[in-house]
Amino acid sequence: MSHYDSVLFYRQALVAQHKKESEQLENIKKVGHAYMNIGNVHYQLGRYKEALDNYNESLSYYNSINYNKGIVGCYNNIGTIFEEQNDFNTAIDYYKQSLNINLELENSRDLGTIYNNIGEIYLKQSDLKNALEYFNKSLKYKGKTNDKKGVSAVYSNIALVYFEQNEYEKATSMLDKALKIDFQIDDKVGVAEDLNYLAKIKLKKGNYPDAVDMAKRSLYISNSINTPRQSKESHRLLSLGYEQMGDLQEALDHHKQYKDLEDQLFNKEKHKQIQELEKKYQTERNLQKITKQEAELEEQKILLQHQKTLKYVFFAGVVVLMVIITLIYYSFRQKRRDNRLLRQQTEEIEAQNEELQQQNEEIAAQRDELEQQRDIAHTQKNAIETKNDAITHSIQYAKSIQAALLPQNYYIAKLINDYFIFFKPETLVSGDFYW
């Protein structure tokens, strides 16, 4: 084997190994996604412990390949679980871990949302100072990404902080800014909510006519878009405002409408709960499928471990092969030097027939040894080609197995009317199994 052929073989081996490592990274990422999805289902069912276990399992896979997008998603989901259970301090810890990664990635859009989420938790804890600090940071990034709806929401949150601090002028200023944006983007729900917040501030300040005016404007908008939650709040504020102004009849009328809407919303909530119970029942039925998927994940983990073992075996084989090729190469060079020396010796001892005959015999023996080494190298080459053929057949066999496992189109068509499947393996075999 020439020096050029050796270098070419090394390069081909490295390319093949790099391709295997890329496929392994994709497999690890897919396992992480699967655990994340299982965690999401448990979360929807209110099974926070099971959800947390799967999120942590997903996180371990993402950490093993430094997949930051997946890591951030896990931290956010885990933080949400603790926030749902009112463990605000732990929730903030996970949100901040997500925040640090996003700062490294300079992901302005997600940074604005995370800062706002942390600020809302501080607001729930009545930690108004920290809440205001994080809302202002959120506002900075929301502005960078031109997220007008997000900017309006942050202005409203800042107004709530000032309202709790009895700084009504600052709260009003923030709500005016939010109101202006909501008008620009035609967010009628946001406008109705902003006007109700302003009415609450006017009531607190004792400016009852302006409070009634704000609540009326909010009520008009919410009625026009049929948003009973905002209408209910408007009627409540109007009832309080008219009562303070001494117009008890109007106060009573609006109080009755407030109660009617509250009863309607209560009934809607009951209906929503029934729907959620039905959804939960359907999800429970799918949980059996998830259990099966978890078993498949365990098989996938075993497969990944097997792939690691194969990788180490491959590296060891490459090292051994490189040593063998190097020895053959240096042996070949040594034999060439020996041949040159033999030619010189032949010229010097032409006159000595007996010695010449002996040297010819030695040369013939060395020539036979060289041919034998050439035959050995040829045999090794054939063995390598045979192994390559075996590997190719194995991949073809794996492709056949995968094709047999995947559901046929006619079977899926029986279950789903409108569907499509995009299945395009990068090589012969794919890591995807759809069900």
DSSP letter (8 states) at residue 99: H
| pLDDT of the chain, 435 residues: tens digit per residue | 554 454 444 444 444 544 556 677 888 888 888 888 888 888 877 788 888 899 999 989 999 888 988 998 899 899 988 888 889 899 999 999 988 998 888 887 788 888 998 999 999 899 999 999 999 999 998 888 888 999 999 999 999 999 999 999 999 999 999 999 999 999 999 999 999 999 999 999 999 999 999 999 999 999 998 888 888 999 999 999 999 999 999 989 989 999 988 888 766 555 455 345 445 545 555 565 666 666 666 777 677 777 677 677 667 777 777 778 877 777 777 878 877 887 777 677 666 767 667 777 887 888 888 888 888 878 888 888 888 888 888 888 888 888 788 887 777 888 888 888 888 887 778 777 776
Query: How many Å apart are CA 78 and CA 73, to the nearest integer?
Result: 9
Distance from chain centroid for Cα 398: 28
Residues 6+ apart with CB under 8 A from 412: 419, 421
DSSP letter (8 states) at residue 65: T
Query: How many Å apart are CA 200 and CA 180, to the nearest integer?
Result: 18
Query: How many Å apart are CA 140 and CA 247, to the nearest integer?
Result: 45
Q: Determine contact, residues 173/214, Cβ cutoff 8 Å.
A: no
Residue ranges of the alpha helices (H) in 125-247?
128-144, 148-164, 168-184, 188-205, 208-225, 228-245
Q: Determine contact, residues 231/260, Cβ cutoff 8 Å.
A: no
What the block records as the tokens of 301 is: 């983990």
